[in-house]
Amino acid sequence: DSGVTQTPKHLITATGQRVTLRCSPRSGDLSVYWYQQSLDQGLQFLIQYYNGEERAKGNILERFSAQQFPDLHSELNLSSLELGDSALYFCASSQRGTSGYEQYFGPGTRLTVT
Amino acid sequence: GQQLNQSPQSMFIQEGEDVSMNCTSSSIFNTWLWYKQDPGEGPVLLIALYKAGELTSNGRLTAQFGITRKDSFLNISASIPSDVGIYFCAGQDNAGNMLTFGGGTRLMVKP
């Protein structure tokens, strides 16, 4: 158990809909990262928040947005869903290890768009 | 964007054999990490490497950070059935930044 929690575990929804994925980082971790894992694109970085502020953006679509709340949990909002958005979505959080920032991943949310 | 080439894509080995996989990059990374992912689960961190040339072990796993900072390899000695899964390398350019992942190596172990 990494200490990172994600809900829900599975989500099935229709095209055009909007969903929210939730992540709680490890205790004490200030950074939260969102990644998407699909069969054709592999694991891709979407966005990072640090202590409530957006820190970096990757290949995140404009239909997707995220935020990090004062209690450090984060939500990833996916709107106007398309079939191609079906994927595993992972949240990771980081703490400073002996030499750097190691990222620990949650169990993921499997999103199926029908 | 940056790309990590991970090889081999898959391996089917006999229990007890040693395994080696590697990652190469066109760009320099300051940190290399190796993860294992089981079906339907999140990646689990195995080893983190922070210095060029560093060799680090975690039980039967040994990983090295290449001198050029553009590559890393992972060895698993005396494989067992529970080693089955997908192994990913990941590079990080600066501390606290995003990870760039390799395509993964699917390991299958025959008892």
A70: preceding bond cis by omega (within 30 degrees): no
pLDDT category at B94 given cuts 50, 70, 90 is confident
Contact A69, A49 (CB under 8 A): no
Q: What is the DSSP letter of B82?
A: G
Summarize pLDDT for A18-30 with one digit per residue, the tens.
Answer: 999 999 999 989 9
Token reading at B31: 């940190």
B41 contact A CB<8A: yes
A42 with B103: Cβ contact below 8 A:
yes
User: Which are the contacts of B30, defined by CB distance < 8 A and separation ≥ 6?
Assistant: A100, B50, B69, B92, B93, B94, B95
A50 contact B CB<8A: yes
pLDDT category at A66 given cuts 50, 70, 90 is very high
Res. B99: pLDDT tops 90? yes
Res. A58: pLDDT tops 70? yes
Distance from CA of B43 to the nearest CA of A (A): 6
- Beta-carbon pairs below 8 A across chains A and B: 68
pLDDT of residue A98: 55
Contact A34, A90 (CB under 8 A): yes
B43 with A105: Cβ contact below 8 A:
yes
